[in-house]
Amino acid sequence: SNLYFIRNGIWRAYYHKDGEETTIWFASDGEAAFSVWGYVDNAYSLVNIQAMCDSVAYCISRAALNQLFSSSIGLANLGLRLMDHQFLQQENWLINPGSPRAKERYLNLIKETPELLQYVPLKHIASYLWITPQSLSRIRAEIVTNNIVMTD
């Protein structure tokens, strides 16, 4: 039921399905990390959150955050924006799974958060893209072969 603000580092959220870990989001410098179940519903979460590298994060309990939100409309609006961001991220993940868009999603992911490649095992990136590690290897080889350059 805590909310974490990541000062530096990369975290991921995942759940277990059919004995496999499925990554549902990554969070990095300046982003918030929390389980919606734990934070919103104060319920046991099916989502695990894991730091992928040495990290510094600030933690605030649900009770303390709610007290802050009650004391300031500005902070309450910030909380709404954080929640909006989380819902958009989840919806995007749910709507855009797997191939043939996996290569496009991979390119966008590493363009937006290139440090993932340094700290996150490829199997977790593949699960986030809803593809197998072998499919991700093929995508990466195609990118190198075709000399695909990421541009803004």
In this structure, the answer to whether residues 69 and 6 fall within a common structural domain is: yes
Alpha-carbon span 42 to 80, nearest angstrom: 17
Q: Which of 35, 60, 87 is the last residue of a domain?
A: 87
In this structure, the answer to whether residues 2 and 22 fall within a common structural domain is: yes
In this structure, the answer to whether residues 82 and 25 fall within a common structural domain is: yes
Structure tokens of 83?
């929640």
In this structure, the answer to whether residues 54 and 103 fall within a common structural domain is: no
Alpha-carbon span 64 to 132, nearest angstrom: 41
In this structure, the answer to whether residues 80 and 137 fall within a common structural domain is: no
In this structure, the answer to whether residues 109 and 73 fall within a common structural domain is: no
Structure tokens of 145?
């072969």
Alpha-carbon span 13 to 46, nearest angstrom: 10
In this structure, the answer to whether residues 19 and 52 fall within a common structural domain is: yes
pLDDT at residue 82, as a whole number: 81
In this structure, the answer to whether residues 139 and 110 fall within a common structural domain is: yes
Strands (E), the chain: 2-8, 10-17, 20-28, 32-33, 48-51, 56-61
In this structure, the answer to whether residues 150 and 106 fall within a common structural domain is: yes
Answer yes or no: are the C-beta atoms of 75 and 65 closer than 8 Å: no
In this structure, the answer to whether residues 80 and 103 fall within a common structural domain is: no
Answer yes or no: are the C-beta atoms of 4 and 18 closer than 8 Å: no
pLDDT at residue 80, as a whole number: 87
pTM, 2 dp: 0.73
Overall number of domains in the chain: 2
Q: In a structure prediction context, what are the per-residue pLDDT tens digits for the chain, which is 152 residues long?
A: 888 999 999 999 999 988 889 998 899 998 989 887 877 777 888 899 999 999 999 999 988 988 999 999 998 998 888 888 877 877 776 666 554 578 888 998 888 889 999 999 999 999 988 899 999 999 999 988 887 655 44
In this structure, the answer to whether residues 107 and 36 fall within a common structural domain is: no
Backbone angles phi, psi at 75, to 5 degrees: -70, -35
Instruction: Say if strands 20-28 and 10-17 run parallel, antiparallel, or are unpaired.
Output: antiparallel
In this structure, the answer to whether residues 66 and 125 fall within a common structural domain is: no
pLDDT at residue 74, as a whole number: 93
Domain residue limits at 15: 1-87
